[in-house]
Chain A
Amino acid sequence: METMDDTGYLLEAEEIVKRFGDFTANDGVSLRLRPGEIHALLGENGAGKSTLVKIVYGALQPNGGRLRWRGEAVAVPNPGAARQLGIGMVFQHFSLFEALTVVENIALAVPGSFNPRALAEQVEQVSAAYGLPLDPAALVADLPVGVRQRIEVVRCLLQNPRLLIMDEPTAVLTPQEARGLFVTLKRLADGGCAVLYISHRLEEVRQLCHRATILRHGKVVADVDPRVETAASLARLMVGADVQSVAAEPQEQAGSVALTVDALSLPAMKPFGVPLRNVSLEVRSGEVTAVAGVAGNGQSELFEVLSGERLAPAPESVTIAGRPCGVRDITERRRLGAAFVPEERLGHGAVPGFRLSENVLLTRHASGDDLVRTGFIDGGRTRALTARVTERFDVRFSRRDQEAGALSGGNLQKFVVGRELDRKPRVLVINQPTWGVDAGAAALIRQALVDRARDGAAVLVISQDLDEIFEIADRIAVISRGALSDTYSTDAIDRERVGMLMAGAHESGGTPDRDARA
């Protein structure tokens, strides 16, 4: 299959156009795939990768262009039709149902009569054949993210796909799990199955993929062999400019401890939530401390108990600037100089239907800016503050004082981060600072976090992006199933070790095998 000739394409997408309202997500995109080829689709957030694969999978209908499947023009009116053709897809945010069992989840995508027992046997066969262990009777809600992805993969494999689409599959995996996935994918490719692989992790694309199509602003800008490119050259193609790396002076001397968590345990609040198990942590002024971990291992729970949205059992469980804060609410913690940026921008960090000047008020109404006097909101001051934040953090909008929901992910994240950094907080806790953000905004945010730390703040970054962590963190701790590892200096730990911790190597009495429950 190394020899490429003009015939024998499995899938050809020609001049695909897709518009959402005024926004053109795919603007004449073409893509060709051969059997047995692992083909990367690269691009920034919003470049149109997901839109394209959803069209191939029948989840969206294009406004223009054609699809050919094994040389013949086809319409893919819905995902069922795609599956019938032999196209399977593993979604980035999964298409699973937490309240249903593994086998029920699989049955929903597999044709034939609904016979859970027979299907469970099939599932066990396929998972054994590919080394992807699954318990068919388990409730999805009880399973860790890595296992959930396995359900999606097995669900596709059950139908002997000719093309497997994977949307950012490694974002939720430890490095070791990712390697396991690559083995599976290579095996599939050797068997003749094509893989369309979406990622923005350039190193793994170079290791894994035979071809790479690069999208920018909805258009194909390059079609290359990634094995002969460098990560930097691929990045330049994706972004259209050189990507700035973070400039951080090494921290000479660690400052005092400004944020602590002490032996904190907290039961899961939601039915499918993660309990925190004996978490202890110290964050020093002048440093960026990172909490690494696969999504859904207690990061949100940790964030909420640090911010005070959820109270800890005892005052001493959380201290900020030396003060016991475990049972103080978020406003009191803000008054002590702490600031918080949650993972979810829309609906948590900002109110989608509110203008930016109202969203500024959300976290700044009691932080000593006199935005509110005797209960009344000072419109002039909130607008002035909004202008300052949007200017300093380069928040771009199409109309002045726009609704937050109308901003792009990167611009809104700059606003949400800028709103807090503008206060010059002594302690900053930020969850997934650049998740789903374009490279330019991500670079700006990371630099701002490092600068704030060097200015004397204690910065705690919770992130699932190891590249980001190794770029900006001075110290690293890892969270897995609600348990936090020791904190290591970034110089004293490598990715391999972090990956082991992500898999739970530090959990007391536990084994690093995260699949024990599956």
Chain B
Amino acid sequence: MNALEAVLLTIITASTPLLLAAVGELVTERSGVLNLGVEGMMIMGAVTGFAAAYTTGSAVAGVAAAVATGVAMALLFAFLTQTLAANQMATGLALTLFGIGLSGLIGQPFTGLPGVKLGAVHIPWLSDLPLIGPVLFGRDLLVYGSVALTAFVAWVFARTRPGLVIRAVGSNHHSAHALGYDVAAVRYGCIAFGGACAGLAGGYLSLVYTPQWIENMSAGRGWIALALVVFATWTPSRVAVGAYLFGAVWIMGLYAQGVGVNIPSQFLASLPYLVTIAALLAISGNRILTKVNTPACIGQTFVPDR
């Protein structure tokens, strides 16, 4: 494997969790809910994924545990914000703080243990092609899964009735309620989907990216996923592009150090966060796209008359 292959490989691995988490949050936000708990759901997915895989010896069990944990966390958020009409911002923050704390507690006995890595698939012939073979066709299933999921979400929003209903609920919950749609139920579903994706993204970190448990290993990726959704103006295809761009930035920092670029490592390490800010500024220039696509009800509490 040459250096270029290695860089491309790591970029794809670094981008996949961002893409997964961002696509999930995109669906949540399209239904009019802002869940700031992505980081918390992700880190919980990472720790339970690792724990389940280590205990059972099966990476697939780890993936399942990560998804289930993400959904459970998301349902907690949904219960507070949808059933009890609590403030979405504050509840999302609570979810993140809670998740970081609980993951530390759960993960303590697993610190420093060798992990179980989710294996790559080998596709005959295609995987053996030079350069694109290992980069594109020799990856774990989740890489393909994340891309397929993004395409699926794009299709749902563009072509299907459930997609239309989600957009409607996010665009005007009063109208949706007046027409007889159960706003809370639609949002429960979208929040749970977002949780599943965030949990899966976390599992990817502890089962593929660095197959071990390190405290706070999500390192703000959940927040960057949130920024990606804004950057992508709530469009699945742009989320994918954004995720790979960010993955590239993340990896560039690491490689620059390896190559011996004479910049303090801390500056390179803070690059993804600075680039996130820059991305938010860049998209603010495109007000029309932002405003037309922004779910009009995002972050607003809805309590119907009964």
Contacts and interface: CB of A to CB of B under 8 A. Distances in A.
A113 B161 contact: yes
Interface residues of B, number: 25
A100 B171 contact: yes
A303 B26 CA distance: 36
A79 B180 contact: yes
A194 B178 CA distance: 21
Contact of B179 (A20, A61, A95): A95
B161 A79 contact: no
Given A60-B306, A99-B292, A108 B171 contact: no
A107 B164 contact: yes
B296 A98 contact: yes
B164 A104 contact: yes
Contact of B291 (A80, A94, A271): A271
B266 interface: no
Nearest to A155: B179
A97 interface: yes
B161 A107 contact: yes
B167 A96 contact: no
B174 to A, nearest CB: 8
A78 interface: yes
Which bucket holds chain A's interface residue count?
20 to 34
B296 A96 contact: no
Contact of A59 (B164, B180, B287, B293): B180
A79 to B, nearest CB: 3
A100 B168 contact: yes
Contacts of A94: 175
Contacts, number: 66
Contacts of B288: 271
A244 to B, nearest CB: 33
B160 interface: yes
B292 A271 contact: yes
B172 interface: yes
Given A58-B180, A60-B305, A60-B306, A98 B171 contact: yes
Interface string A42-78: 0000000000000000111100000000000000001
B165 interface: yes
Interface string B267-288: 0000000000000000000011
A114 B161 contact: yes
A100 B167 contact: yes
A139 to B, nearest CB: 8
Given A96-B175, A97-B172, A271-B292, A114 B164 contact: yes
25 contacts: A59-B177, A59-B178, A60-B305, A78-B180, A79-B180, A81-B180, A93-B174, A95-B174, A96-B172, A96-B175, A97-B167, A97-B172, A97-B175, A97-B176, A99-B171, A99-B292, A99-B293, A100-B171, A104-B168, A107-B164, A108-B168, A108-B176, A108-B179, A114-B164, A271-B292
6 smallest CB-CB distances across A and B, nearest first, come from A79-B180, A95-B178, A271-B291, A114-B161, A95-B175, A78-B180
